[in-house]
Amino acid sequence: MKFVRIILKVLAGLLIFIGCFLAISLAPVDDTPYREMPYYAQTKQRLAQLPAPLTTGQPLRAGWAKVNMTPSYTTPTGGYGERLGKHWKTIADSIFVRAILLDNGNTKVAVVGLDLVITPPTVTEALKKRLPEVGLRWENVYMGAIHSHNSMGGWAPRVVGQLIAGGYDKKIVNRITESVLTAIRNAQANMAPVQVGFGESDATDLISNRLSSSGPTGPLDGKIRLLELKKTTGESALLCTFAGHPTLFDGDNSAYLSRDYPGSLVDRLEKKSANFAMFLAGAVGSTAPEPRGKTDFQEIRNYAGDLAVRIERTVPTIQPRSDSTLAILTLPLGLREPHPRVFGNWRVRPWLFYALYGDYPSDLKALRIGQTVLLGTPCDFSSELAAELNPVADQKGFNLMVTSFDGGYIGYITPDRYYNRQAYEVRDMNWFGPYNGDYFKEMMTGLLNKIDPAKPGK
């Protein structure tokens, strides 16, 4: 009987502990409309206070370079939590940092593309400290990533990050950071006057909407977009964006270090269409690739080939012109409290989220090069939302390129109407609560207005 009493006391104590833990760890979802929240007012004020950029100056000059950052040792692959930190064993293709440096005498900007699943927030924080070494600040850098789920991991120190990217290794963060700085230095060493051109081709047939399994969905932005920079020597660079999710390596295939289809595409473009090519993942949130092939490698080759054929038809139609227009805006982004939902309408409290993931600042970016504007987001940004932004850019005469993974990472941003669906993209990967789709669209529209000299006060 004494033993039974002891067991009952232990169970009672355990239940009290669990109850107390849940009470301090969980809270109901806050569904207050975003325009009534303090973070909205703060971000809107920051947007209003951004100085109207001085867009014109001397004719544009540009340089470009790539640095191989493939490690000599194996690392976890970043992208699939189901791999539980497994290391790759074979280098299928090397991984790089690519950089394009632009200057019009008034403004200098570096566009940096990482052959990683995202731009690691740890790397962003390191770069903020070290960019002055190459004459830049974070506000003058536009970051992106190819979003391969078979590239180098090991760059996230906390539990959630390690589920995505495997065990943390500080030397990997240092390696990526050093490679970025070296690529910028090397790009600066070959600056020359350039002309600027833009082209696009439709590839909507190569993507599908993963959310369609949970109900009706809207149209996707399925265009391949190309920004061409051409020197007087004839040397050229292509910046390419597309919304196809680079997940052609299956989740159970962690054996290879690879850039997935963006790597195969860039390699082909550098052989046939340009001296230098950079791929930045576009609005990949909730998209799935529609590949052909019996193996992962066949799918990668065929998918990259299908994109390359369309690009190769488009590049000769691009008409580069001299231009002096260059401007960049960085908008620090306020957010609702962390809202990862664990069951029903209950979400994790901020202290627990930050303990498990970290507290990293996030920005929206706007980069104008001639009549092309790139909008950078700190997330897997929805292709449906990108499609809704295109008419705004069209009214201003802008060519719009929306990219994901600009330095922070806050999960998926999807249309607000899907918030209560039972789907991975809007349930597991929505980390900051409801109404972010409309919030992001409003702020991105504000950046488009701000970077348009025809409406400098808006």
162-174 pLDDT, tens digit each: 888 999 999 999 9
Residue 87 confidence (pLDDT) above 90: yes
Residue 8 has pLDDT above 60, yes or no: no
pLDDT > 70: what percent of the chain? 93
- Please check whether residue 200 is in contact with residue 83, taking contact to mean a CB–CB distance below 8 angstroms: no
Answer yes or no: is pLDDT of 3 > 70.
Answer: no
Whole-angstrom distance, CA of residue 350 vs CA of residue 337: 6
What are 316's two structure tokens? Answer: 């000769």
Rounded Cα distance between 411 and 339, Å, is 11
Give the residue among 363, 395, 394 at the shortest CA–CA distance from 379: 363
Residues 6+ apart with CB under 8 A from 1: none
**At residue 200, what is the residue type?**
E
- pLDDT confidence of residue 159: 86
Q: Decide if pLDDT at 365 tops 80.
A: yes
CA angle 166, 341, 419 (to 5 degrees): 110
CA torsion sign for 442, 447, 452, 455 is: positive
pLDDT band at 458 (very low <50, low <70, confident <90, very high): very low
Q: Closest Cα to residue 191, out of 237, 136, 246?
A: 237
* For residues 85-105, average pLDDT: 95
Nearest to 102 by CA among 372, 446, 308: 372
Report the first-to-last Cα separation within the chain, whole angstroms. Answer: 77
Residue pair 261/307 in contact (Cβ under 8 Å)? The answer is: yes
Predicted local confidence at residue 267, as pLDDT: 98
pLDDT at 81: 78
Mean pLDDT of the chain: 93
CB contact burial 399-421 (16+ within 10 A = b; e otherwise): bbbbbbbbbbbbbbbbbbebbee
Residue 270, SS3 per DSSP: helix
Q: What is the pLDDT of residue 244?
A: 96
Number of residues assigned to the chain: 458
pLDDT at 456: 42
pLDDT greater than 90 at residue 23: no
Q: Please write the tens of the pLDDT for every residue from 294-333.
A: 999 999 999 999 999 999 999 999 999 999 999 999 999 9
Reported as a single tens digit per residue, the pLDDT across 366-400 is 999 999 999 999 999 999 999 999 999 999 999 99
Instruction: Read off the pTM.
Output: 0.94
pLDDT band for 13, please (50, 70, 90 cuts).
Answer: low
Q: How far apart are CA 413 and CA 439, in angstroms?
A: 10
Amino acid letter for position 27 = A
Rounded to whole angstroms, the Cα distance separating 300 from 291 reads 8
